[in-house]
Structure 1
Amino acid sequence: MLDLSFNMFEGIIPLPQYSGEMLDYSSNCFSSMPPNISTQLEDTSYFKASSNKLSGNIPPYFCSTELTILDLSYNNLSGSIPSCLMEDNNALQVLNLKENQLSGQLPHNINESCKFEALDLSDNQIEGQLPRSLASCKYLEALDIGHNQISDSFPCWMTALPGLEVLVLKSNKLFGQVSPSIDYEKSTCEFPRLRILDLASNNLSGTLTEGWFIRLKSMMVEVVNETSVMEYNSYQNQVYQVNTVLRYKGYAVSFTKILITLVFIDVSNNAIHGSIPGAIGELVLLQVLNMSHNSFTGPIPSQFVYLHQLESLDISSNGILGEIPQEISSLDFLTTLNLSNNMLEGRIPESPHFSTFDNSSFMGNTGLCGPSLSKQCSNETPPSSALHNSKEKSADVMLFLFVGLGLGVGFAVAIVVIWVLPLRKKS
């Protein structure tokens, strides 16, 4: 083993004379790799050179190695991904090329003996479609191709990946409908192991169907797992942990360890319309739900009351109608709420927990009222002091009326006594 990580080494990456099972050069200032690297990696299974200053194309000689984990993320590598790295290499389990300057299309003839378990190609400039041959990677658990230029429909064909748990396709050019609209197609778009789904900032449209959500079984029933995070073992049980960046509670958060318990759905910034499916309420393990900046209409589903693990709910900037269900105020884990810029109306639910949300959670809903907006509802019972003042004012008005009436009657009697009676006597 050779670990030189987290230093300030520069120049060419130094390789040990007789190879090494595990080589870690991450977080340095290395600028290049030696030309004879393939002959010196014969026995290497773990090679990590992330967060350096490596530039140029990815050397194709990585293809002729027996590497199981290759991490070249956070560098300045350019050009296209060598096709042999994904199509011919039968040993790679983890390939991380995140945040480089890679371009071109993904290799489309991935080997049927593919052993990929985690694939991270996010934050590059990759174009074209997702390779359908990825369906050959039966062991794939995490796929992150976010922040690229992928132009394709939602990959229902990935249901062929039985162990897929993390699917991040945000900030691409995906189009079309997410869930099938025809009943017989629904069974072809199942993701029973999926726990993290990020489709934010694409061009997705159509509606979301009830039946599609009830097939997300891992978001309903807790899966018993020996480890608490997604990780992969290499030489002498050296652990490589998968990481990703998700929008969590309004902020872009880097999860250096993906917890097995994290359950996350983000379909924000698309063109999805129709009502929000009540079946989402069956995803009882859901922690983060972001459906903001779409064209959803209809009410907030009352079934949300069953989302007892929910920590963050954002359905802002839609066309949501009706009242806020009173039941939502009982979600005790909810710490981030954004219902702004909709067409909601009525009284904001009152509870000690709900009162912690400020004006920004509800603004842009002209029909809403309640303490959180400092706008009193018109049909609310006025406080006791106001009632007391109102009674006093009523009493004063009545007293004034009686006094006025008494003065009027007295004046009329006086006129009769002084003028009318003497005149009648004379006549």
Structure 2
Amino acid sequence: MPKRSCVPCFLLHQRKLKKLDLSHNSLEGMFPNWLIDNNRMLEVFNLRDNSFGNIFYMPLNRNPNTMWVDMSGNRMIGSIPRYTPKFFPHITYLNLSINSLDGVIPSSIGDLVELYELDLSHNKLSGEVPTGLLTNLSQLFVLNLTNNSLHGEVLSTNLNLGDKGRLCLDNNYFTGKIRHSDLWSMLQLVDISNNFFTGLNPCWISNITTSFEPVGSLLFLDISQNSFSGPIPSCLISQSLEHLHLGSNKFTGSIPNSFGTLKNVLTLDIGNNYLSHMIPKFLGELSSLRILLLGKNNFSGSIPKQLCRLTNESLIDLSNKFLSGSIPSCLQNIRGPSYQAFMHTRYLDGYDTDGRSRNSPNFYYQSIITNRVTFPEDLFKIKDEVLFTTKAISLTYKGDALDSMSGLDLSSNKLTGYIPEELGLLTHIHVLNLSHNKLTGPIPTKFSNLASIESLDLSFNNLSGKVPSELIKLNSLEVFNVSFNNLSGTLPMKAQFGTFSKESYEGNPLLCGPPLENKCTMETQETHPSIEEGDDVKWYDMDMTSFYGSFGSTWFVSMCGFATLLWVNPYWRRRWLELVEECMYTCYYFLYDSVRKVSMYLFK
């Protein structure tokens, strides 16, 4: 529809209308509750992604036929009506997300016993979550309260939700401990990140035997950015997990051995905690692993060579720890993913690839426009999201972007030795960060093979030698930092290197050339090959035989050229002879006068 359109008036008298889909248009005005009032047989009411504003009003009359209401992605304000169960007693799907609704969630929502999906995310709701919403709705499959201002100890009660469902409480102000419940082992997606939860029941997710045999179907678990502390519970882990986020908490101790059973895991994020001891070798056995984030912990020891077996890995973060030793050259084996795991997003069990339910009592409808089943795009998808430092900035990568992004971050450790030339074989990598270590030796010239590299940070090490001119082949390079090393020589200035500022090279007093203020002299331009080979001959030593031979031949050729010029030009030859004659007379009389004066002085 054209912009700034209104709901067509002819819909006012469609008494037998059952399905109404006006989603993804530019409709404006107040919420058209008259559509429900005048169409008593209306079952599906979809106004998703329009520009309806003002207060969300309930219709004047009860409509027992309405089962699907989607008002997401509009500009609705005000609070959620308390009498929703009265007017929509049999509703199964209610989506009011991405609006500006405020106030509290009415307790009457807990009376919608047939409700299967409830999405109130991305609003301005406050207060506590009604107890009935968590305990009465046994058929509730999807509960999404993401990104509001809700608070309270929401997970301290005994939850009663549908199995194989989705619970999203992230980005709120929830507090308290998490109570153990059999429900956790039946859910497929749990996201309670970015809250203020403080305690974990050691076996709150699943019941696991001593052989780590899990019960349940949990695929996605995100409890990051909370205040959980103590050791990571061993029975927190379920073999069915594909995405596990425990980062930005206060976990201590070592990584549990139960992590070795995560054979299906794609994402493992336990960064930004207080974990210690050595990085376990069994992490290299997780063949499906794509993203490994262990940065900002207290791990010690060397980098396990077993990590080189993670050939499908795309993102590895081992930064900000106390790792020592050398960089394993076998990291060249990490050639990137062989298939796209994140682009082909998995759906929750019970739904096929177009979102159609195979076991839901919910009502699904045919779109009047596309004649296909219509669903909110992200309702049943499992999309992962991680934070990775790129170009000195922590950026969020989500969903399909995780298939194309690749990086290796070993910064802020105590790594020593040379940078392995084999790292130049990581042709797929976009980010390589080896800064803030104790690495020595030259910058490998094989880094010129990093065709996809966008950010290369080697700063704050003890690297020596020159900046290889071969690196000008890196056409995708946007950030290059070799500051505070012991590099020397002239800087390359072609291609991308003509765009880097002096901050990329500061702290290397022997580097010269633009963009630095140090001008290159003969000494700084020398590559000193004899010194590098251990020879005692100085760069300023000269072969005198060659010097005299070159000088003599140059003088002879010059004289021959001068004589030839006088021979072919009579005028110049006469002038030259006159000049010679004048010089001879001048010298003669000068000597004669000088001798005469001396003689007279002596005789007197």
Q: Which amino acid aligns with 2:221?
A: L
Write the deviation string for residues 141-166 of structure 1: whole angstroms up to 9, x where unpaired. 10001110001212221122110010
Q: 1:331 to 1:109 in 2, by over 3 A?
A: same
Secondary structure of the 2:190 match is strand
Q: Tell me which residue corresponds to 2:516.
A: 373
Segment drifting more, 170-179 vs 152-161: 152-161
What is residue 51 of structure 1 aligned with on the other side? 171
- Which residue does 1:191 correspond to in 2? 310
- CA positional deviation for 1:190: 1.5
Does 2:295 correspond to 1:153? no
Deviations 1:43-87 (A, max 9, x none): 351110101111000222265551000000010000235423155
- 2:203 corresponds to 1:203: no
- For 1:260, give the aligned amino acid: D
**TM-score in terms of structure 1 length:** 0.84
Residue in structure 1 matched with residue 118 of structure 2 by the alignment: 2
Distance in 1, matches of 2:587 and 2:507, equals 58
Partner Cα separation in structure 1 for residue 283 and residue 393 of structure 2: 29
Q: 1:357 to 1:332 in 2, by over 3 A?
A: same
Distance in 2 separating the partners of 1:167 and 1:45: 26
Does 252-261 or 370-379 show the bigger shift? 252-261
Give the Cα–Cα distance (whole angstroms) in 1 for the partners of residues 205 and 500 of structure 2.
50
1:105 aligns with 2:231: yes
Partner of 2:429: 286
User: 2 CA distance for matches of 1:360 and 1:124?
Assistant: 34
Among candidates 340, 343, 353, match of residue 228 of structure 1: 343
The question of 1:213 aligning with 2:327 is answered no
The equivalent position to 1:24 in structure 2, one of 140, 144, 160, is 144
CA drift at 1:409: 6.0
Give the letter for the 1:310 counterpart.
I
Partner-residue secondary structure (3-state), 1:241: coil
Q: CA deviation at 1:2?
A: 1.0
**TM-score scaled to structure 2, two decimals?**
0.60
Q: CA 1:264–1:34 in 2, change beyond 3 Å: closer, same or farther?
A: closer
Between the two proteins, the alignment pairs up a number of residues equal to 390
Report the Cα offset of residue 410 of structure 1: 8.8
Alpha-carbon offset, residue 179 of structure 1:
3.6
Q: Any stretches of 5+ residues in structure 2 without a counterpart?
A: 1-116, 209-214, 356-379, 526-582
Q: Which residue of 2 aligns with 1:327?
A: 470
Task: Give 1:236-275 correspondences, 5 Å limit.
Answer: 236=351, 237=355, 238-257=380-399, 258-275=401-418
The 2-side partners of 1:416 and 1:51 are apart by 107
Partner of 1:38: 159
Helix, strand or coil: the match of 2:333?
A: coil
1:183 counterpart residue number:
none
Q: Does the Cα contact within 8 Å between 1:27 and 1:50 map onto a contact in 2? A: yes
1:69 aligns with 2:69: no
Cα offset for 1:25? Answer: 0.7
SS in 1 for 2:403: coil
Residue pair 2:245, 2:270 contacting (<8 A) in 1 also: yes
Matched, 1:416 2:558: no
Distance 1:279 1:328 in 2: 16
Q: Matches of 2:456 and 2:287 in 1, distance apart? A: 29
Computed over aligned residues only, the root mean square deviation of the Cα atoms, in angstroms, reads 2.8
Q: Name the % identity.
A: 28
Q: Which residue identity does 2:233 align to in structure 1?
A: P
| Letter of the structure 1 residue corresponding to residue 331 of structure 2 | F
Matched position secondary structure for 2:313: coil
